[in-house]
């Protein structure tokens, strides 16, 4: 996936289009991500230690990774990510806009 934890992303499709948030978690198998403050869903929960009352809690729900674009920390534009394999075999992510290298992953 081209999106990794702690990236800032811009939502480009769906109900939350135009909103931004930080990636809390990625699920590569399902190509879904959890973004802070985006796509709240209501869940019914039983009383627990954390939430003694139980009832309805709002929690972020996952969204498909294809519905977001990474915001480049260097040029602050929502950008498509290019991948390049370095000579040492490591894969880096490159901003298509300013061609800066983003955080290394995978
Ligand atoms: Zn950039």
**Whole-prediction pTM value?**
0.82
Q: 94 C-alpha vs ligand 1 centroid, how far in Å?
A: 8
State the total domains in the chain. 1
Tell me what pLDDT residue 105 has.
52
Contact, 104 vs 5, CB < 8 A?
no
Q: Is residue 88 part of a domain?
A: no
40 found inside a domain: yes
Whole-number Å distance between alpha carbons of 28 and 48: 30
The CATH number of residue 68's host domain is: 2.30.30.30
Tens-place pLDDT, residues 63-87: 999 999 999 999 999 999 999 888 9
Classify residue 27: in a domain, yes or no. yes
- 39-48 tens-digit pLDDT: 988 888 888 8
Q: What range does the domain containing 68 cover?
A: 8-78
Within a domain: residue 95? Answer: no
The helix/strand/coil state of 67 is helix
Model confidence at 106: pLDDT above 90? no
Residues with a beta carbon under 5 angstroms from ion ligand 1: 72, 74-75, 95, 97-98
Residue 18 CA to ligand 1 center (angstroms) comes to 18
The SS3 assignment for 26 reads strand
Cα-based distances in Å from 27 to 22, 46, 53:
15, 26, 30
Is residue 43 included in any domain, yes or no?
Answer: yes
Across 12-17, average pLDDT:
92
CA distance 73 to 63: 22
Q: Is residue 69 part of a domain?
A: yes
């Amino acid at each position: 996936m081209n999106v990794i934890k702690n990236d800032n992303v811009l939502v480009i499709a769906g109900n939350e289009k135009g909103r931004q948030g930080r990636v809390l978690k990625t699920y590569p198998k399902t190509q879904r991500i959890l973004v802070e403050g985006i796509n709240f869903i209501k869940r019914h929960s039983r009383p627990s230690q954390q939430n003694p009352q139980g009832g309805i809690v709002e929690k972020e729900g996952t969204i498909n990774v294809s519905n977001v674009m990474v915001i480049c920390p260097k040029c602050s534009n929502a950008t498509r990510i290019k991948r390049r394999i370095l000579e040492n075999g490591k894969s880096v992510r490159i901003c298509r806009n300013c061609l800066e290298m983003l955080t290394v992953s995978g």
